[in-house]
Amino acid sequence: MTIELHPDDAGYPGRLRDLARGTPDPLYALGETPWPDIPLVTIVGSRAATRYGRAAAARIAARCAAAGVGVVSGLALGIDGAAHRAALERGGWTVAVLGGGVDRIYPPEHASLYTAIARAGRVLSPWPPGTQPAHFRFPARNRVVAALGDVTVIVQADAVSGSRHTVRAALALGRCVRVAPWPLDHPAYAGNAAWARDRRCAVLASADEPARLAAEAWAARRQRAEPADDRARIEQALAGGPRTLDALARATGLQVAAAARAATALEISGRIERTGADRYRRRPL
């Protein structure tokens, strides 16, 4: 079932609020599992991937999954598909962002992969169901791909690769960007060489590095998170009626301790109250 999410909804990916302009509102989501509060690595690259490129993408994604880090990509042929598959094969969590509606499988060759991601991860789109994929929509899709990742890794890019839009968006958002090592003088990797010359990027030292960097960035982001945002999520979760603290934590994706702090602050301010059944509810106006 497709879910429509707005920035104020508890289930809306908080990372997308970093998009100062062009923020998807609403965002459309398809998936059977809750969105876990874990670091994410965005993996991008060419559709016409070489064997080396596909193997590198799969190795990085597998290391992410083993470290409890999710993988974000665009479901395209080549690098995207290799990254998604490797994450799923290692029992990891992966997000596919589409350039059309979440009900439009593109490319059709990835129908089985799309189904697997919808079962074990999440399919997202800034476009409503029924929207046909189109090249002019991919830059907006790529901004979402960039915003979701704590780290972006460009695995294989030629001189005119579409993944440059994702990398530029990631850099504009202040995200960490890394370039996978590439075969020297190979024309299919001219984009890798170009980005490696950018002082804001760096060449990966190992396949484990993206997961480690993402975990560090995620931890720092959590420390900077505004308590007011947690309180807003708690209030939103109580719109449907009273809930226990554990139920609030599950509904908002917060740790129980963070949910307790936010609920206590709301209780003190008089916005919510505790009932006799050890539940919280909105205070009548």
d(CA 188, CA 113): 25
| Token pair recorded at residue 45 | 């690259």
| Token pair recorded at residue 65 | 């999954």
The reported pTM is 0.79
Confirm if 274 and 267 have CB atoms less than 8 A apart. Answer: yes
User: Residue for token digits 């800034």?
Assistant: 126
pLDDT tens, per residue, the chain with 285 residues: 788 988 777 678 888 877 755 555 789 999 988 888 899 999 999 999 999 999 999 999 999 999 999 999 999 999 999 999 999 999 999 999 999 999 999 999 999 999 999 999 999 999 999 999 999 999 999 999 999 999 999 999 998 888 889 999 999 999 999 999 999 999 999 999 999 999 999 999 999 999 999 999 988 887 666 566 788 888 888 988 889 998 898 888 888 878 888 888 788 778 898 887 778 988 876
| Token pair recorded at residue 113 | 């992969």
d(CA 118, CA 96): 9
Confirm if 5 and 26 have CB atoms less than 8 A apart. Answer: yes
Can you list the domains of the chain with their CATH numbers? 2-222 (3.40.50.450), 226-282 (1.10.10.10)
Q: Would residue 22 be called left, alpha or beta, if left means φ above 0 and alpha means ψ between -120 and 50 degrees?
A: left
Q: Smallest Cα–Cα separation from 71: which of 155, 18, 149, 7?
A: 149
Amino acid at 58: A
Backbone angles phi, psi at 220, to 5 degrees: -65, -40
